[in-house]
Amino acid sequence: MALPVDSFFRQNKRKPVSRVSPASRKAPELELCWSVIFKESYFHFGVHVVVLSILTMFIVLLHASLYLKAPSPIFSMHESLVLPSDSILARDHTAKYHAIVYPSGIFGMGTFYTAVLGEGVGLSSLAQRYQLSIATLLSINKLTNLDESHYLDVVRVPFMDGLLVDFSREKSIQSIANHYGVDIDLLRATNHLSTETVTVKGQIFIPGHTMSPSKLRRMIGDSFIYPVFGTLTQTFGSNRDSITGLDIYDNGIIFQTQVNTPVLAIADGTIIDSGFHVRFGHYLLVQHQQYRVFYGYLGQAPETTMSLRIKQGEVIGKTQNKGKYGYCFLSIILDGEAINPIPLLR
């Protein structure tokens, strides 16, 4: 039986640290427009100043050392979100964490992105950002399943779909191109092979080569994918309101991204409720395995029916237009309790 959304969130056991009367609570529009910056701290003011000073010095030194070792990112977050997907240089920046992307070569083969991951950015969201198959990212990062990506800090992102193939014996470039039906010039270009190179051995990126759906399904397993790629502007749990300074408890997370960005189902599931909520706008409630997942801030009423089965990666709506950006709210419920979605997303 489908639950009304208000009953759903009452079961969610929302527990604000500081109670706020309905009359003094901020309007939903204000809640959507401000990101949580600081979490609660119990330091005295003097100690707080010392700690912040030390952290500031550490961050400055860290940035200076990274600046000397790595290519300088050239785009801000807002600019990078509107870059074409095939752009070679990009920088993606989250509100509290960074996913810095710059071109590099590893083992002397090809040009591709090196993405330094942070919270709110995973392998599946990078696939959405650069319009690549998850199979491509699994292959080039030598992963046997999607869950392994959770333990990576840095991943490789090629500039086009394809698979990494390991040749234990030397083979001619022409024979590889013929076998996989790839243009030989494209094969050379994607692997930085000169025209003088006739044979190759080891790892070669085969552009356009795909993985069978059944094999990809096995590699993804029960892992949840990200619904969108975007900036994580609200984290789960206790936060401090940036306007009132009051402590609040958030049952979900919010991604900021482009307007009308497709929102994907994080796993196979069954729709059990949909409608409109005064705070979360158009929403969809889906049963994914033992979890109930609430998708909010959808741009329009979902064209769905109850008990409809949906597939992982299927478009279930688009992000709500809140001016310059779109937003996606995600809340995951297990046994009547809201849990942090981030550790489950890959």
247 with 15: CB under 8 angstroms? no
Question: pTM here?
Answer: 0.65
Query: Is residue 200 within 8 Å of 167, Cβ to Cβ?
Result: yes
CA distance 186 to 161: 13
At residue 186, the pLDDT reads 87
What residues does each domain of the chain span?
Answer: 5-39+224-344, 162-207
Q: Can you give the pLDDT at residue 308?
A: 86
Neighbouring C-beta atoms of residue 21, cutoff 10 Å: 6
């300088």: which residue's tokens? 72
- Please say whether the beta carbons of 311 and 291 come within 8 A: no
The residue whose two tokens read 């400055």 is: 60
pLDDT, position 77: 28
Which DSSP state fits 220? H
**Nearest 5°: phi and psi at 343?**
-65, -20
On whether the CB atoms of residues 231 and 255 are closer than 8 A, the answer is: yes
Q: How confident is the model at residue 279 (pLDDT cuts 50, 70, 90)?
A: confident
Q: Do 5-39+224-344 and 162-207 fold alike per CATH?
A: no
Closest CA to 158 of 222, 217, 203, 224: 203
Closest CA to 87 of 64, 106, 113: 113
Residue 1, both tokens: 């039986």
Q: Which two tokens stand for residue 206?
A: 């085969």
Q: Determine the average pLDDT of the residues in 291-313.
A: 83
Q: Which amino acid is at 92?
A: D
What tokens were used for 263?
């929102």
Least confident of 112-126, 243-257, 285-299: 243-257
Provide the pLDDT for residue 18.
Answer: 45
| 5-39+224-344 CATH, one of 2.60.40.10, 3.30.300.10, 2.70.70.10, 3.40.50.300 | 2.70.70.10
Domain 162-207, CATH class in plain words? alpha beta
Beta bridge partners of 207: 162
Average pLDDT over residues 257-283: 90
CA angle 172, 173, 177 (to 5 degrees): 120
Per-residue pLDDT tens digits for 32-58: 333 332 333 333 445 455 666 777 777
> What is the per-residue DSSP string for 222-269?
TPBPPS---EEEE-SEEEE-TTT--EEEESSEEEEE-TTPEEEPSSSE
- Distance between CA atoms of residues 279 and 188, nearest Å: 53
Across 95-109, 222-236, 262-276, 289-303, the highest mean pLDDT is recorded for: 262-276
* Side-chain half-sphere exposure of 27, counting CA atoms within 13 A: 3
**Strand spans (E) along 278-325:** 281-288, 291-298, 309-310, 315-318, 320-321
In contact, 97 and 125? CB cutoff 8 Å? no
* pLDDT attached to residue 150: 83
Query: What tens digit of pLDDT does each residue of 1-18 get?
Result: 444 455 555 555 444 444
